[in-house]
Amino acid sequence: MGKQVYIIHGYGASPANHWFPWLKEKLIADGNQVSVLHMPNSSDPNKEEWLDTLTNEIKNVNNKTYFVTHSLGSITLLNYLDQLDPLPSFGGFIIVSGFSEPLSSLPSLNPFTVTIVDYKKIISATNSRAVIAAKDDYIVPIQLSKNLSKQLDTSFYPVEKGGHFLEEDGFTSFPLVYDILNNIMRNL
């Protein structure tokens, strides 16, 4: 097996929050290398600092590299991939509660969505892409995740009740992410 998985958290979170530690343990038990990146100042995020963190932490993107992102971590990853020139082919990604347009509830995050990402470039670098969103997400409306899914030509997994998939929404584990990731890692 031996894949490299990077988990990228979102706004106001840390590697110790939500379902990230659970997912990391499950994937390591399967023989993968897993890094849950610690994004700086997550309560007052700065786009350049977040992109620098990805640049410094992500090594050797290749067909064994996979990403799992949550919320703000998603558009950050897409901006990072868009900057890679050339963008090497890589394993794939799962975006949870992702968005690519401004959130009216969090205008401080607008700098992250200013740059229009070259979706075709990202699509051509990988075959395995999925977006998961909850119909009752109260931070990122499901329509924004659907729009992102269309832009990235991904499989889309709507969840009836999940909120923003936070600890407070009952998500300290997330079997759906694990199952989808296992499927895409196996199908290479």
- Which residues belong to the active site? 71, 137, 164
According to DSSP, residue 17 is labeled S
> Rounded distance, CA 97 to CA 139, Å?
9
> Rounded distance, CA 122 to CA 39, Å?
22
**Long-range contact pairs involving 103-106 (C-beta distance under 8 Å, separation at least 24):** 103/139, 103/140, 103/144, 105/139, 106/11, 106/139
- Cβ atoms of residues 184 and 128 within 8 Å: yes
- Cβ atoms of residues 53 and 80 within 8 Å: no
Instruction: Reply yes or no: is the peptide bond before residue 86 cis, omega within 30 of 0.
Output: yes
Count of residues in the chain: 188
> Rounded distance, CA 50 to CA 86, Å?
20
Look up residue 9 and give its two tokens.
């958290």
Look up residue 173 and give its two tokens.
């584990």
Look up residue 135 and give its two tokens.
């119909």
State whether residue 58 is helix, strand or coil.
coil
